[in-house]
Chain A
C-alpha cells in the first residue's frame, strides 16, 4: 500500500469502518511510514477531542414536556424513565 491509498482509508480506519484485509494492509503501511503513522494518530486524537470536549446540552424542560405529551400523559414518571436512566 502507498501513502495515497493509506490516506483514502485513514478516516475509515479511525472509525472502524474498514474491512479486515484493508486494515491489515493499512497497519502494515503504517509500520513502514512515519508520516502516515503520525497522521493516523492525529486523526484519532482529533476524533477523541471532539467527542470529549463538545458539551452536550439537555433539552429544555418545556420541550421535553411537549414531546412527552405527544406520547404519554403520565409525563413525569415516563420522562424520568426514558431520558434520565
Chain B
C-alpha cells in the first residue's frame, strides 16, 4: 500500500503550486470497479500524459540526489502530488516540464528540511554507485577517431559532475532531457537570457574538462582531424 508522505507545496509558476497545502493523504481507491467514471478518466489521462515520463523523471532524480533510494522517494512524491493536482495541469502544455518542476521543488524542499546544502556531493560514493549499476555497453565499432568520441560514460559523467550546479543543471535539462529554453527558464526560475549564457559557459567548461580527461588517457586532442 501507499506510504504516507507529507507533501508541501512551494510557490511557482504552475497552477498547481498556487494551491494550499493539503492536510492529509488523498485516499486512493483500491479496486478498479469501485472507481467513479471521472476518476477512471483522470487515471487514463494521467497515464498517457504523466506516467510515460517515469524513466526520465527517475534519471533526473538520480542526477540531482546521487542516491537511488532518495531518487525513488522523490519520484514517488512527485507522482503523488502530480496525480492529486492533475486537474491544475494546463492541458496542451508540456507535462514532462510540469513534472520536472514539481520534482525540483520537492528536492529543494527536502534539502531545506534536512538542512543540507545541495551541490555538495560525495564523489567516492557516486563513483561506487555508478560502477555498481553502470551499463557495460561500449561502442567498439566507433569509427570516428576524434578523441571526443573515445570518451566513455564515466569520463563524461565525471566531467558533468565537476561543473558548478547552475551550469550542470541547464545542460542536463537541455541536452539530456531535451527541454526548450522557455521550459528550462521556468524550471530554474531565471530569464531565458540567463539560460542561454549558462549553457554557453557550461559547455565551454565541460569541453575543457573533457579535454583534460582525454589528455590524461593519452588520447589525441588535436582539433585538425
Are A47's CB and B72's CB within 8 A?
Answer: no
Quick one: given A54-B176, A57-B59, A83-B54, are A15 and B32 in contact (CB under 8 Å)? Answer: no
Q: Which of A11, A42, A53, A82 contacts B156 (CB 8 A)?
A: A53
Report chain A residues within 8 Å CB of B72: 59-60, 62-63
Report chain B residues within 8 Å CB of A14: 199, 203
Report chain B residues within 8 Å CB of A53: 151-153, 156-157
Are A67's CB and B75's CB within 8 A?
Answer: yes
> What is the chain B residue whose CB lies nearest that of A57?
B59
Report chain B residues within 8 Å CB of A47: 174-175, 203
Q: Which of B55, B137, B156, B180 contacts A54 (CB 8 A)?
A: B156
Q: Can you name 10 A-B pairs with beta carbons within 8 Å?
A: A11-B197, A47-B203, A53-B151, A53-B153, A53-B156, A59-B58, A60-B58, A74-B32, A82-B48, A83-B55
Which residues of B pack against A, CB within 8 Å? 2, 28, 31-32, 43-44, 46-48, 51-52, 54-55, 57-59, 62, 68, 72, 75-76, 79-80, 83, 133-135, 137, 146, 148-149, 151-153, 156-157, 160, 171, 174-176, 180-181, 196-197, 199-200, 203-204, 206-207, 210, 223
